[in-house]
Homo-oligomer: A and B are copies of this chain.
C-alpha cells in the first residue's frame, strides 16, 4: 500500500473519483451518507493528497523559499524565524535553504525555485550572486532580495540603511570620546556592497567632525564569523602604535570574537576598548559584557519581504522593482556603557 490515491479511495467507497475529491476539499454538497463512506475509506487507506499533483493542477504550492548563505549565523536564523512567522499569517509555509554563499547554489536556487513552480516565491539573501547572474532574468518571478544589494537587478530589495546605521554606531563611539576607532569587517569592492556601505557610514561620521580616518584601522575580514573577529582583533592589538580605543564590528559575531580576544589579552571593555556590533543577535544580549549593537528590525524586514512577494503573486499588473528600507536603532549595552 505504498500510497493510496484518490482512485483507490473512490473504488473502496464505491463512488467516483470526483466525489472523493469533493469530500476531501469540502467542495460542493455531499450527502451525509456519502461523506461518511468516503471518510471511512480515506481513514482505512491512510489516504493523503499528493501535493505535487494538486499543486500542478492548482498552479500554486503555498510554499515560499527563504535562501540564506549560512543558517548557523544567528542573524540569518533569527531572520528566518521572523520570515516564517510573517509568512504564516498569509497562509504560506516557508522552506529554507542554505547556500554557503556558493554562487552555483544561489544561482541554482533562483532557477529552480523562482520559476520552476516548486515555490510560489523566493526570498533570497545573496552573498556572492553577481549582477550578471540576475541580468538575464526579467524580474517577472516573485523574488525579493534581502540585504546585499545587486545593482540593476529587476527585483525588489529590502534592507536597512547601512550607511546611516554605521554612521550612528561610529558617532556613538565618538561621543564617548574615543579617537582611535577601528572598523572590522570591510570587504573588497566586488565581494560585498553592504560592507562598503558600512565603511562609508564610518567615514562619514568621522568627516562630519572633521576627523581623519586612520586607514590602517579599517580592516577587512575573510568572512563574518567569531574566528575572523578574534583574528582581526589580535592583529590590531599587535600593531606597533598600540591598540585602538574602540572597535566597530560589521556584525555581532565579529564583535564577540573580538571581545574574546580582548578579554584574553587582559583588556577591559569598555574602559580600554569599547565595542559595537551589528545585527543584535541573542548571543550579544547574554554575552559578558553585553554587546552594544545596531539592531535591524528583523520583523520589519520579514514583513516587507513577504508583503512584496505576496503582492506580486496576484495577477495584477507587474509593478516596477522597489527599494525598501526597514528601520534600525542603536542598542546601547555594556560593551560601550560599562556595567
- A residues sitting closer than 8 Å to B (CB atoms) are 1-3, 46, 48-53, 55-56, 61, 63, 65, 70-72, 74, 77-78, 80-81, 84, 93-98, 111-112, 115-118, 136-138, 140, 225-227, 230, 256-257, 259-260, 263-264, 282-283, 285-288, 339
Pairwise interchain contact B98-A84, C-beta atoms closer than 8 A: yes
Q: How far is the CA of A81 from the CA of B69 in the complex (A)?
A: 11
Q: Which of B77, B117, B288 contacts A259 (CB 8 A)?
A: B288
Q: How far is the CA of A186 from the CA of B264 in the complex (A)?
A: 33
Q: Which of B52, B111, B264, B286 contacts A260 (CB 8 A)?
A: B286
Q: Which residue of B lies closest to A256 (CB)?
A: B286
Pairwise interchain contact B98-A93, C-beta atoms closer than 8 A: no
Q: How far is the CA of A68 from the CA of B137 in the complex (A)?
A: 33
Q: For the A-B complex with A48-B115, A65-B95, A256-B286 known, give 15 more contacts whose Cβ atoms are closer than 8 Å.
A: A2-B140, A48-B111, A52-B118, A53-B117, A61-B118, A71-B80, A72-B80, A72-B282, A74-B74, A84-B97, A84-B98, A94-B97, A256-B283, A259-B288, A260-B288
Pairwise interchain contact B84-A93, C-beta atoms closer than 8 A: no
Residues of B within 8 A of A118 (CB): 51-52, 61, 63
Pairwise interchain contact A50-B3, C-beta atoms closer than 8 A: no
Pairwise interchain contact B51-A80, C-beta atoms closer than 8 A: no
Q: How far is the CA of A48 from the CA of B78 in the complex (A)?
A: 32
